[in-house]
Amino acid sequence: MPDAPIFEKKNILVTGGAGFIGSFLCERLLKDNKVICVDNFSTSQPANINQLLKNPDFEFINADISQVLDFESYPELERFKIKFQGIQEIYHLACPTSPKKFDDFRHQTLLANSVGMRNVLDLAVKYKARFFQASTSVIYGMRPEDGHPFREEEFGAFDHLTPRGCYDEGKRFAETACITYRDIYNLDIRIGRIFRTYGPRQPLRDGHMIPDFVMDAIDGRELVIYGDENFRSSLVYVTDVVDGIMRLMDLPADPGPVNIGSDYDIKLVDVAKQILKMTGSQSSIVFRERLPFMRDLGLPDLTRAKETGWIPLVSLEQGLKKSIEYTVAHKDILSPRFDK
């Protein structure tokens, strides 16, 4: 299989491409490439990619990565000429993320991080494709007591037998799978450890607090923080994350795992207060028991990311403004389709 496209544009596969981050990534990649988006809408939503479906360089495949996929057998992909051109890049983002319904997706999460991971890596081997793994800050474990930012050389400790293990330990296994395939099959692997991200297209009423803050502020309901008044986090805007992913993939050589996030620490209660101010809402803020998927995460050391030429550019105020505008415009279609 040729290392470079024999046609004018690369064929690029994005798994989880209808998800929050994945849909923005597909949109960005379509500027210069042909994109195959794979998703099964377990925790994503069709509305995220509706605007892309008319683009002749985009094709959506409704499929589960835990099943072996043969892209050369899909008639709708004939125009991509995969038999001749192959696939040049794979961005692997598929993994259920549902804070409120985390328990409902534990089995799917386990499979996505193991069987699904193997299947997508096997595709990379078949087509000699450059491979991006969407890893996460959870592989570092809990926020350190001294509060220092996590460096990529560090590794955390956590109980892999808790209900969260299918995600936390699953993401660590996925990184191990990437490095093993790199060593055995000489794959070009890139690993981005993504920290807490926010922005348009996050589903509502699913425990993603920023869009729920916005909706509740607009509707005059209580803003719910799943934690106490000291619950802190860093927040990075989704387009900054996409830019970091693409810069990492464009490097001529793999720099090793790279943190992609914000190193600015902020209390969630202060974010909620800022949203109340920006929306002119008189709603109150309440605190409830933390969801299993929500916990204190550390901050990223961005030294390695900055060496790639990347820094987060969207300020919290700018990002919240964009999130508010999107939520107001799309509030009737934002609720996740898997809500009961």
Catalytic residue (choose from 127, 140, 167, 198): 167
CA-derived radius of gyration, the chain: 19
Kindly list the distances between the CA atom of residue 139 and the CA atoms of 47, 51, 118, 165, 246, in Å, as whole numbers in the listed order. 30, 34, 19, 11, 22
Q: Which helix (H) or strand (E) holds 58?
A: strand 58-62
Annotation marks residue 181 as catalytic: no
- The answer to whether the beta carbons of residues 55 and 30 sit under 8 Å apart is yes
d(CA 131, CA 120): 9
Strands 232-234 and 265-267: antiparallel
- The answer to whether the beta carbons of residues 124 and 188 sit under 8 Å apart is no
Listed in sequence order, the residues at least 6 apart from 222 whose beta carbon sits closer than 8 Å to its beta carbon are 216, 283, 284, 285, 286
Residues known to be catalytic: 167
